[in-house]
Amino acid sequence: MRVAVIGVGAMGANHARVYSEIPNVTLVGISDNDQDTSDRTGKRLNVPSYADYRTLLDTERPEAVSVAVPTSLHFEVVSACVERGIHVLVEKPLAMNVDEGRRLIDAANKMNVCLGVGHIERFNPVVKALKEKLEQKEIGRIFQITAQRLGPQPSRIKDVGVLLDMATHDIDLFYHLIDDEIMRASVEKAECIGRPNEDIATAMFRFNNGVIGVILENWLSPTKVREITVNGEGGMYVANLLTQDLFFHMNAAAQVSRVDDLSPVMSIGNTIRYNIVHAEPLRLELVAFIEAASEGKPFLIDGEAGLRTLEMAIRLRDS
């Protein structure tokens, strides 16, 4: 399959690198409105480089494209790809607003092309392992899920705040892991250091099945934290998305029959560290996208899934 990448900043450059390494995929070109960036990346990967993405599309005629431009340009660039019958994987969030997102989905359906949204954490091996454990119900009834996504602000992101850039990862993961709809949500957010968009946010959710969700997002931390914890009757899972480590802290009280109502319902038990085969989530994501595009199947995170997450993030931002 002939593929291209539009936008080769930090994330887009990685898309281009991975495509160049995947068997049966040919990276035919890249584009960035910064000509120097485009030329530098093109030279490194030995592919044609363009400043105008339309010239790339019309000259190289790729069958599939990764779009990794700023969120404010998603609608314009994805629309141009879809109009040409090109399969698209767009970095999250799907679009700048719900109306644009819906129009992109409708256009992709009309042209019968695959539209995927790059919620990369879905392909993190530790997330896959956590999902499998939850489906096995080893933890029993789930009480709470918490996500922390902290770190310094990437200098490249200027058009959105933490809710559209970072929280969309965790909202998507909550939907995926809990597998239920959100009944209600609330948020506290702030612009702490004079930027036009929120740089810190804490949100709370209640799912229809009673599970409580909490996300903590900020661009104000000097170190990166990417962690999910799930508390339930049988104990607590702790998933480190950076190291791809998964721990299960067992509830000792759940391992024995309760004698009376004064018996503890939660107490410290053994800890299990699961053996997870590490892999690069981006490679797994792009391989899945190419397979979906080649076989005419929906991508794991299709436009509708991306739109659901986008809508919730916007509601939080605007509340």
- Residue-wise pLDDT for 237-246, tens only, equals 999 999 999 9
Rounded to an integer, what distance in angstroms lies between the CA atom of residue 123 and that of residue 289? 11
pLDDT in tens, the chain (319 residues): 999 999 999 899 999 999 999 999 999 999 999 999 999 999 999 999 999 999 999 999 999 999 999 999 999 999 999 999 999 999 999 999 999 999 999 999 999 999 999 999 999 999 999 999 999 998 999 999 999 999 998 777 778 899 999 999 999 999 999 999 999 999 999 998 877 889 999 999 999 999 999 999 999 999 999 999 999 999 999 999 999 999 999 988 876 554 445 455 778 889 999 999 999 999 999 999 999 999 999 899 999 999 999 999 999 999 8
Q: What pLDDT score was predicted for residue 52?
A: 96
Residue 67: its H or E element:
strand 64-67
Q: What share of the chain is helix, strand, coil (3-state, %, to 5)?
A: 40, 30, 30
Which residues make beta-bridge pairs with 65? 4, 88
Rounded to an integer, what distance in angstroms lies between the CA atom of residue 306 and that of residue 101? 8
CA 71 to chain centroid, in Å, comes to: 14
Residues 119, 33, 224, 282, CA torsion sign: positive
- From 169, 31, 150, select the one nearest 91 (Cα to Cα): 169
Q: What pLDDT score was predicted for residue 255?
A: 64
DSSP 166: I
Contact 101, 95 (CB under 8 A): yes
Instruction: Give the contacts of 294 (CB within 8 A, at least 6 positions apart).
Output: 1
| SS3 at position 285 | helix
Q: Identity (one letter) of the amino acid at 28? A: V
pTM, rounded to two decimals: 0.93
Tokens representing 188 are 């506290």
Per the document, the length of the chain is 319
Find the angle CA(224)-CA(228)-CA(231) to the nearest 5 degrees: 150
Rounded to an integer, what distance in angstroms lies between the CA atom of residue 8 and that of residue 91? 12
| SS3 at position 316 | helix
